[in-house]
Amino acid sequence: MKNDYEKTINDLYTEIENSSVSCRGSKKNLASELPRDECIALLDWDGSELPITVQADLLSLNRSSVLQAGSSLSGGNSPQAPD
């Protein structure tokens, strides 16, 4: 019975390792397949739980270019954090 338990634990660890390896490139692949304009369009300026800087990082966008894009969307003013 102890051997069955240990085998199950080892199998689960192996499954976790395999899942982790397959997910490592997901962030890079998503961002690299979308054009920059589409990545910027995905940003949620209002109401997101994630700050713009985190969203930019997840989409592999440069923070200054994101803030510049937000500035042009808001008529020249830098985007403000939601209240």
Q: Structure pTM?
A: 0.48
pLDDT digits (tens, 9 = 90+) for 4-22: 889 998 888 888 877 755 5
**Residues 52 and 43 sit within 8 Å (Cβ to Cβ):** yes
C-alpha dist (Å) from residue 72 to 6, 21, 29, 39, 45? 59, 39, 28, 16, 13
d(CA 30, CA 60): 9
pLDDT digits (tens, 9 = 90+) for 71-81: 776 654 444 44
d(CA 60, CA 53): 10
| Half-sphere exposure for 37 (CA within 13 Å, toward CB) | 0
